[in-house]
Structure 1
């Protein structure tokens, strides 16, 4: 890869600046693609953004930026999107910063102060090379600072019309993917690509790279978007009560995986709701978040049911005189396991009266382990 250092004035950078959201962000007379598909969305906070402007305003050195030169005398911004957009937005009077105790946007500055900003020289490495070299260099220069997420790196590899359309649905602030209450059920940030990653993980069964490779050149991501909607339509039908209290239990569950396995199951929403209420009130259930998976799968392990503590085990061991009630043989305490006489599924509680100690073989044979 060929790399050459250039000085670019802010006036040159902001020439023709346009931010068309999903359609892209451009500057440098339209020749610089500020947000190519592998780039993050804008994630600087107000403090970081303002410090960029103060650095320029005071003529302090700003970190070097990296552009990739394309064959048609245009460029892609490889590293420095946050700084670039901060500068361009300020010169466009999109925000103000506090100067000597007074908030001022670019238009409020004196003419000579505006010229100082416009004449500020940015250090830009312009790089030329193959696609593979570009992506390798992109990974290297992003090791410092805020690390890229796995999905941001995947986006760098599988660029194309499919990704551009997928980001429209899943990767913007307030993206459609997290609207209509779905934000209460899904973890992650759209602009850090975490919601897109979740959707891809669900639809691909964990084989995200395979899915992105197969669809890289599709004209749109309608399949993924329609799948996402189907998942949450199903969740709403099966578990219609999703108020703030329930959302705390439902948020972050692998709803797509549940949908893939159980979408054809026959579930009665009213019966499930009654059972949810019972389980929330059941002191034996330690993991309330596991209730939804349990109702779909029947696996009691998701509930983290209460277990007999050591003090209770010792008391029952003494009562049994160390003998297993099934095989009648004597064992040391560490060779035995606590078991519910009346199982939880039949209303049994984790009490001394409902506890028996069985040898490991009999306990695991009894429970089918």
Structure 2
């Protein structure tokens, strides 16, 4: 046991986090201004199809908690994205102005599709929505967890690896159990 504690002490890296609630508008603005580097060299590419992006937008509208976006602070005060590239790019794709869309590689704004709860907004872009909804969405706070610049540099790569390699895809039945609740699904589970 003593050897384990000694080894743990030698291998423990300094980890220091800060947590923030940052509005959608501010996250997009920070990305546009280069305060947030959304594409550090180790970051994966943006891959979400429009339906996934639309589901995220619907979740933000509904106030459904979405996972924290993880950043790392650099010595110059800027941040780099560790986890959340799909979410942050989806937000930019939805609310970004013409220049922001071009800067982040989007030819056109996101047109919502596949919404279940807010289905009346299928086919709408951000600018098609009433001003009150645009304002509500823009000011919606999201959780951002930032690894401070006091932390060891290697911690950000460890964090990226752990956040992006631990997931296991749900089985078809696990998805059905969530989506189609009721007596029939209970029967299938019993079988």
Give TM-score, length-normalised by structure 2: 0.67
Q: 1:101 to 1:82 in 2, by over 3 A?
A: closer
Superposed CA deviations along residues 329-360 of structure 1, whole A, max 9, x for unmatched, are xxxxxxxxxxxxxxxxxxxxxxxxxxxxxxxx
Return 65-74 or 37-46, whichever deviates more: 37-46
Counterpart in 1 of 2:172?
Answer: none
Of the candidates 68, 72, 83, which is equivalent to residue 72 of structure 2?
68
Partner SS state of residue 143, structure 2: strand
Counterpart in 2 of 1:83?
Answer: 87
Distance 2:142 2:126 in 1: 18
Q: 1:47 to 1:132 in 2, by over 3 A?
A: same
Counterpart in 1 of 2:7?
Answer: none
Gaps of 5+ in 1: 17-26, 148-369
Gaps of 5+ in 2: 1-14, 97-107, 114-118, 170-191
CA drift at 1:2: 0.4
Of the candidates 25, 47, 53, which is equivalent to residue 11 of structure 1?
25
CA drift at 1:101: 6.1
Counterpart in 1 of 2:123?
Answer: 103
Distance 1:62 1:28 in 2: 22
Contact in 1 for aligned 2:24/2:138 (Cα 8 Å): yes
Distance 1:60 1:72 in 2: 34
CA drift at 1:55: 0.7
Q: 1:127 to 1:143 in 2, by over 3 A?
A: same
CA drift at 1:4: 1.5
Of the candidates 26, 29, 33, which is equivalent to residue 33 of structure 2?
29
Contact in 2 for aligned 1:65/1:80 (Cα 8 Å): yes
Contact in 2 for aligned 1:9/1:118 (Cα 8 Å): yes
Superposed CA deviations along residues 172-221 of structure 1, whole A, max 9, x for unmatched, are xxxxxxxxxxxxxxxxxxxxxxxxxxxxxxxxxxxxxxxxxxxxxxxxxx
Kindly report which structure 2 residues correspond to 1:284-295, keeping only aligned pairs within 5 A, or say none: none
CA drift at 1:146: 7.2
Q: C-alpha root-mean-square deviation of aligned residues, in Å?
A: 1.9
Contact in 2 for aligned 1:12/1:29 (Cα 8 Å): no
CA drift at 1:59: 1.6
Counterpart in 2 of 1:137?
Answer: 159
State yes or no: 1:125 paired with 2:125. no
> Where has structure 1 moved over 2 Å in runs of 4 or more?
143-147
Greater C-alpha Rg: 1
Contact in 1 for aligned 2:70/2:145 (Cα 8 Å): yes
Counterpart in 1 of 2:189?
Answer: none
Contact in 1 for aligned 2:50/2:110 (Cα 8 Å): no
CA drift at 1:7: 0.7
Q: Report the count of equivalent residues.
A: 137
CA drift at 1:28: 5.8
Give TM-score, length-normalised by structure 1: 0.35
Partner SS state of residue 51, structure 2: helix
State yes or no: 1:114 paired with 2:134. yes
CA drift at 1:144: 3.5
Distance 2:164 2:64 in 1: 22
